Amino acid sequence: MTEERSRRLSESSRVEAFSDGVFSIAITLLVLELAIPAVRDEFLHDLVDEWVSYIAYLAAFGSIGVLWMGHHTVFSRIRAVDAGLLWRNLVLLLTVSVVPFPTAVIASAFRVGSETDQAAAVVAYAVVGMASGVAWLLLFTYLRVHPTLVDPDTGVHFFRLTEPLVTLVGYGIAGLIGWFISPDIALAIFLVFPLLYVVRVRSAGG
Amino acid sequence: MTEERSRRLSESSRVEAFSDGVFSIAITLLVLELAIPAVRDEFLHDLVDEWVSYIAYLAAFGSIGVLWMGHHTVFSRIRAVDAGLLWRNLVLLLTVSVVPFPTAVIASAFRVGSETDQAAAVVAYAVVGMASGVAWLLLFTYLRVHPTLVDPDTGVHFFRLTEPLVTLVGYGIAGLIGWFISPDIALAIFLVFPLLYVVRVRSAGG
Amino acid sequence: MTEERSRRLSESSRVEAFSDGVFSIAITLLVLELAIPAVRDEFLHDLVDEWVSYIAYLAAFGSIGVLWMGHHTVFSRIRAVDAGLLWRNLVLLLTVSVVPFPTAVIASAFRVGSETDQAAAVVAYAVVGMASGVAWLLLFTYLRVHPTLVDPDTGVHFFRLTEPLVTLVGYGIAGLIGWFISPDIALAIFLVFPLLYVVRVRSAGG
Amino acid sequence: MTEERSRRLSESSRVEAFSDGVFSIAITLLVLELAIPAVRDEFLHDLVDEWVSYIAYLAAFGSIGVLWMGHHTVFSRIRAVDAGLLWRNLVLLLTVSVVPFPTAVIASAFRVGSETDQAAAVVAYAVVGMASGVAWLLLFTYLRVHPTLVDPDTGVHFFRLTEPLVTLVGYGIAGLIGWFISPDIALAIFLVFPLLYVVRVRSAGG
């Protein structure tokens, strides 16, 4: 390995710092989308009435939190970074940092929109979820064919494509349900999705 | 301890980086909730008239600052991180990053709302404060039954449940006072709460 | 020095990470205060017409940048952190993270306000600048009487009170000029202030 | 090298942390500029209709991402930091953190503005892109005449002025095309620009 090349495969610490920044900002910006109801004497009622905003907030918070935990796990197995990995990571961060947008769209559509609007909103959210699945697929596929980037103890088989595929298909199904059957069910799936991940980690953790 | 397990108990540095990000963003986002009064010739008067916004801002800033200091102290005693700890930490960060919302609700209710609105707003703030107490309870309880995650010099007795319980009960009482007696008193309690913590730290610091 | 005490005087790295977060967020949030003019055929004219917003943005950006550089310099001389230092640092961060508010107030007042409004706005900015001077005074005074926190090679004389006092008095004078003479002059002072600091650093840097 | 001087040439890690903060915040704040359409029964249509916002978002995201990768590469070659470098870095961060503003201006102008408005908006974006080129030129020129700041293995020839000049000229040409010929073409150039960089890195990476 030449010195120039070893330099380019530089340590992943600054990539993690940048990624942590994007994750933590995206997860914290979500709160800005919680609209403050116009103040009238039914203020408490209006606050409670925004429950869909809160559900969407929790779903998006959980989702970004799960993605961060996945990112944390993956990068703890990476020992070097090259330009191709940086770019795939950037695409992944794009799918993370855009999450506040469909979250706000859902909150807005459920507050004042018709059921058609709500269906459109959950589809928007599902598309972002699917894009996240695709970004993880790109990242994992890249790592599998570049074993020099991976910690030798780990091996490329660690980056199983099953999980990103489940994410991709899962959000796709949720979007279809939201569009053809019921936006409410889709919203419930968005909320439950991150929790499933917790269960899986726990059972795997033993 | 297997190698796989020792890896999962990986160092807490990246968790701290992510948490620091959330804390610092939440505390800085608070400023966005300070509304700029419509510009008329009474601009200075209007600026001063927003004093409740400033009180709420200071209370929330102090509160997040205190929470960060607590987080800093706790994680300096943690030597390893597992999935269960990551999740409890995420719940804790949720209660931190949502703080700008009830802060904005208070500012809005005190600027243009009736006393009923103000009571609802301080209850919303108190609920978030109570949720923070619950999140700390979950974290401390978890650490007490997983001593392998804790620095051996420290011991699990370090994570006393008294403080989170005081937070939980304190915000509960403040909420009740705000709802049944006076929103102003509740707001004063929110402001004083972080200061009490300073006094305690100082006296303990000797 | 007991072990308990040596632990409390823990390394300053996480404090710096949290502070860096607040500085970098505050300096980046400033951009949100740049209002987008309503779109009409005089869009370019309107964009240019917002020049006071841009001046205020540059002044605030330069000011937070200078504060960060000062923070960077000071903490490179600190070897340990205790609760008292954490609190003074938090007060300092408060004066940093609030900067976007008076910046927005200035932009708003100069766009649509009378000269009285503008005077009020520059006074608000000056008050925050003075608060920053006070926060630095508190921090430096604390370090001077707690030499154990300071790098032994440095010595407490490094933390001269002259600079915070100049900041305090300088923003005070700018505020008085803005209120009694001309808001425009005050704004110019706000813009030049950080540049003066650059000149001083350069000449000192040799 | 005196001890005082060696201290001032302190390690670049905290500068990178602060810079990473600004980059990650700026890239994540972009999402706040994605406007949520008013909710009516044509919600999905309206969402899709905002495609120019999405293009502008992608262009700005890619552009900040590329800038971060460049910053990452450059600072991995820097071994020490002095005041002059700090200032040039601050100017560079200014051109990064201001990007959300022209991005929002473009989104706004293409949503509701005339072609003249759109031309003005792409010029604003191009000006920021050119400012970024100038900031890189300042930084590289400084590094070339201060070889003590640079990693000895690297040598100042590493900081070729070609790239910043291409950025400067490229955005200049895009702005002229946007103003005199077609805003749409300018927007397409803004989107393609970061992609070109990817191709170049890949071919160089071998």
Give the pLDDT confidence of D50-65 residue by residue, as tens digits.
788 888 889 899 999 9
Question: Which of the other chains make 3 or more beta carbon contacts under 8 angstroms with chain B?
Answer: A, C
Look at C29 and D32 and tell me if their CB atoms are within 8 Å.
no
Of C17, C57, C198, the CB nearest to D87: C198
Look at C76 and D114 and tell me if their CB atoms are within 8 Å.
no
Q: pLDDT grade, residue B2 (50/70/90)? A: very low
CA distance C181 to C174: 10
Query: Whole-model pTM?
Result: 0.86
| pLDDT higher than 90, residue C43 | no
Using a 10 angstrom Cβ sphere, with 0-12 exposed, 13-18 middle and 19 or more buried, the burial of residue C165 is middle
Look at C21 and B16 and tell me if their CB atoms are within 8 Å.
no
pLDDT tens per residue across span A26-85: 998 888 877 666 656 566 677 677 788 888 889 899 999 988 888 888 888 888 888 888
Which chain C residue's Cα is nearest to D18?
Answer: C20
> What does the pLDDT read at residue C95?
93
Q: pLDDT grade, residue C88 (50/70/90)? A: very high
Look at A26 and D31 and tell me if their CB atoms are within 8 Å.
yes
Between residues A76 and A206, the one the model is more confident about = A76
Q: pLDDT grade, residue B40 (50/70/90)? A: low
> What does the pLDDT read at residue B174?
94
Between residues A202 and D24, the one the model is more confident about = D24
Q: pLDDT grade, residue B159 (50/70/90)? A: confident
> What does the pLDDT read at residue A1?
41
CA distance D182 to D204: 33
Summarize the confidence of residues D137-166 as an average pLDDT: 86
| pLDDT higher than 80, residue B21 | yes
Summarize the confidence of residues D183-206 as an average pLDDT: 73
CA distance C171 to C192: 12
> What does the pLDDT read at residue C84?
87
Which chain B residue's Cα is nearest to A58?
Answer: B94
C-alpha distance from B5 to closest chain A C-alpha (Å): 8
Burial D122-148 (b: 16+ CB within 10 A, else e): bbbbbebbbbbbbbbbbbbebbbeeee
Of A15, A98, A109, the CB nearest to D39: A109
Closest CA to C185 of C59, C27, C45, C57: C59
Q: pLDDT grade, residue A199 (50/70/90)? A: low
> What does the pLDDT read at residue A76?
81
pLDDT tens per residue across span A171-194: 999 999 999 999 999 999 998 888
> What does the pLDDT read at residue A43?
66
Between residues C108 and B125, the one the model is more confident about = B125
How is chain B classified by DSSP, letter by letter? --HHHHHHT--SHHHHHHHHHHHHHHHHHGGGGSPPPP-STTHHHHHHHTHHHHHHHHHHHHHHHHHHHHHHHHHTTB----HHHHHHHHHHHHHHHTTHHHHHHHHHHHHH--HHHHHHHHHHHHHHHHHHHHHHHHHHHHHHH-GGGB-TTT-GGGS-SHHHHHHHHHHHHHHHHHHHT-HHHHHHHHHHHHHHHHHHHHHHH-
Q: Which residues contact D73 (CB under 8 A, 6 or more apart)?
A: none
Q: pLDDT grade, residue D109 (50/70/90)? A: confident
Chain D: residues touching C (Cβ < 8 Å): 3, 7-8, 10, 14-15, 17-22, 25-26, 29, 32, 82-84, 86-87, 90, 93-94, 97-101, 104-105, 108-109, 111-114, 116-117, 119-121, 123-124
Report CA dihedral (C17, C20, C21, C24) to the nearest 10 degrees. -160
Of C29, C84, C114, the CB nearest to B32: C29
How many percent of chain B have pLDDT more than 90? 29
Between residues A27 and B83, the one the model is more confident about = A27
Look at D47 and A124 and tell me if their CB atoms are within 8 Å.
yes
> What does the pLDDT read at residue C75?
86
Burial A28-37 (b: 16+ CB within 10 A, else e): bbbbbbbebb
How many percent of chain B have pLDDT more than 70? 83
Q: pLDDT grade, residue B163 (50/70/90)? A: confident
Chain C: residues touching B (Cβ < 8 Å): 3, 7-8, 10, 14-15, 17-22, 25-26, 29, 32, 82-84, 86-87, 90, 93-94, 97-101, 104-105, 108-109, 111-114, 116-117, 119-121, 123-124
> Phi and psi (nearest 5°) for A159?
-90, 75
Q: pLDDT grade, residue C7 (50/70/90)? A: very low
Q: pLDDT averaged over chain A?
A: 82
Q: pLDDT grade, residue A4 (50/70/90)? A: very low
B46 C-beta neighbours (distance < 10 Å), count: 18
DSSP state for residue C10 in the 8-state scheme: B
Between residues C93 and B33, the one the model is more confident about = C93
CA distance D105 to C50: 13
Between residues B7 and D35, the one the model is more confident about = D35
Q: pLDDT averaged over chain B?
A: 82
DSSP state for residue C41 in the 8-state scheme: T
Least confidently predicted of A201-205, B103-107, C194-198: A201-205
Q: pLDDT averaged over chain C?
A: 82
pLDDT tens per residue across span D32-45: 877 666 656 566 67
Q: pLDDT grade, residue C160 (50/70/90)? A: confident
Q: pLDDT grade, residue C64 (50/70/90)? A: very high
The SS3 of residue D181 is coil
The answer to whether B30 and C100 have CB atoms below 8 angstroms apart is no
pLDDT tens per residue across span A81-118: 888 888 899 999 999 999 999 898 888 888 777 888 88
> What does the pLDDT read at residue C37?
66
The answer to whether A82 and A146 have CB atoms below 8 angstroms apart is yes
**B155 chain-C contacts, CB cut-off 8 A:** none
> What does the pLDDT read at residue B8?
44
pLDDT tens per residue across span D169-180: 999 999 999 999
Summarize the confidence of residues C131-155 as an average pLDDT: 89
Summarize the confidence of residues C54-79 as an average pLDDT: 87
Which chain D residue's Cα is nearest to A32?
Answer: D32
> What does the pLDDT read at residue C11?
57
The answer to whether D95 and D136 have CB atoms below 8 angstroms apart is no
C-alpha distance from B57 to closest chain C C-alpha (Å): 10
**C122 chain-B contacts, CB cut-off 8 A:** none
